[in-house]
Amino acid sequence: MTTPQEILHLVEPGENVTGPGPDSTLPVVFNLTDRNSPADVMDVLSLRPFASGEQPWSRSTRLEHVRADAPLRPGDARLVRVAHEKTKQSLLAEGDGWTLLANRWTNGMAYVAVSAVTEELAETVLEASVKDATEPPEVDESSVQMGFWHMGTHGPTRSERAIAADAWEDIRGNYTAPVAEALDEVMRLGRDDVSGRLLLLHGPPGTGKTTALRALARAWDGWCQSDCVLDPEALFGTPSYLLEVAVGDDEDEGRWRLLILEDCDELIRGEAKQSTGQGLSRLLNLTDGMLGQGRDVLVAITTNEDLAMLHPAVVRPGRCLAQIEVGPLSRAEAVSWLDGTDAAPGEIGDGGATLAELAALRKGERRPENPDTPSAATGFYL
């Protein structure tokens, strides 16, 4: 038997409710329950002076790559509350005529919000709080900065982190010759060479489609920001989510963006219009419709479907920057790939082998009896 949820009402009557204006304060009511964490309480408390009208000006910003020792508040700030959670630290501070909330996450991101009695004071306090708070990410030639989008509790959320990405020339031998030649052309593209908005990689699991996209993100890093969408069904099912991802921030203007959608079989197969509703239409609109003309956005899709099973509108001429079928290596290429390892070439059949199967053989695993059964290494080479 569960106990009733406890609700705490915090009521602050307004001191002057005779009329609107910066000198008016309104009654404020906060509802807190036993499900709220201390950090939630601080979020609410930080809004009190703004909600009441006592501090009617507000400024906020989100930061990435925040230094671990950055205080995220002015030197003369008075600490009011501090809360620590597993992956988050929150602090509430105040000064003469202003209130500040700073939320910091262990992944290097932070959110700072300031309310103040004047617009100039809010801007000044925020500027002092974030000054020298960030540092450039460490440059690692074997990695690339990748953004990750998902629909969070409070709307679309993007986080960025460095992921491993091999140089194309180092992994070119992982692909059969026709695929490698097609990918050569894509890797060499620059911002002025884009002639289509959709990059389609299709083929069986374990052939290296994701690995190729990581290499592509590294090859294009100088002119194109790469973002992986973790929930493409939500992206194309929620117009506000799609608009934020597609349009981006003003500071991104001038740089192309590559949206990576993995394993989107349901979205682009032949019956997608019936099964996903407006999802397919919105994808097409993003690649060459009105929405696509608003920003320089490319969409890369991986699918295990055969090209003949895909919706004809997706693969029509002129829409795709490239359509590449990523298949297994031929037997000769697979034997050459294993050269210098302890794996036995006899394990490779006449039909060749996928990259995942070769990686498993190199680690001493036997090839599965059923060729449709992916090997243990498949997860790394989708």
**Is 2 contained in some domain?**
no
149 plus 290 within the same structural domain = yes
Whether the Cβ atoms of residue 192 and residue 333 lie closer than 8 Å to each other: no
Whether the Cβ atoms of residue 103 and residue 113 lie closer than 8 Å to each other: no
Structurally, the chain folds into a number of domains equal to 3
| DSSP one-letter string for 208-249 | SHHHHHHHHHHHTTTTEEEEEES-HHHHTT-HHHHHHHHH--
**Is 36 contained in some domain?**
yes
Taking all residues of the chain, what is their mean pLDDT, rounded to a whole number? 82
209 plus 287 within the same structural domain = yes
167 plus 202 within the same structural domain = yes
64 plus 119 within the same structural domain = yes
Is residue 362 over pLDDT 50? yes
Q: Which H or E run contains 114? A: strand 110-116
Q: Rounded to an integer, what distance in angstroms lies between the CA atom of residue 276 and that of residue 254?
A: 33
Residue 131 confidence (pLDDT): 95
Is residue 25 over pLDDT 90? no
pLDDT tens digits, one per residue of 283-318: 877 777 666 665 788 999 998 877 667 767 777 777
319 residue type, one letter: R
Of 97-101, 196-200, 225-229, the one with minimum mean pLDDT is 196-200
pLDDT-based confidence at 341, cuts 50/70/90? confident
Q: Rounded to an integer, what distance in angstroms lies between the CA atom of residue 95 and that of residue 61?
A: 19
Domain CATH for 242: 3.40.50.300
155 plus 169 within the same structural domain = yes
Give φ, ψ of 309 to 5 degrees.
-90, -5
Residue 4 confidence (pLDDT): 46
**Is 48 contained in some domain?**
yes
Q: What is the mean pLDDT of residues 112-117?
A: 97
Residue 236 confidence (pLDDT): 87
Domain that holds residue 367: 331-380
Whether the Cβ atoms of residue 254 and residue 224 lie closer than 8 Å to each other: no
268 plus 214 within the same structural domain = yes
Query: Hey, what are 345's tokens?
Result: 């070439």
Is residue 20 over pLDDT 50? no
254 plus 375 within the same structural domain = no
**For the whole model, what pTM was predicted?**
0.67
Where does a domain end: 82, 107, 130? 130
Whether the Cβ atoms of residue 81 and residue 91 lie closer than 8 Å to each other: yes
Query: Which of the pair, 253 or 84, is modelled with greater confidence?
Result: 84
**Is 135 contained in some domain?**
no
Q: Hey, is 251 helix, strand or coil? A: helix
114 plus 196 within the same structural domain = no
227 plus 354 within the same structural domain = no
- If 0-12 CB within 10 Å is exposed, 13-18 middle and 19+ buried, where does residue 6 land? exposed
11 plus 100 within the same structural domain = yes
Strand pairing partners for 224?
256
pLDDT-based confidence at 210, cuts 50/70/90? very high
Pick the most confident of 52-66, 136-150, 260-274: 52-66
Is residue 130 over pLDDT 50? yes
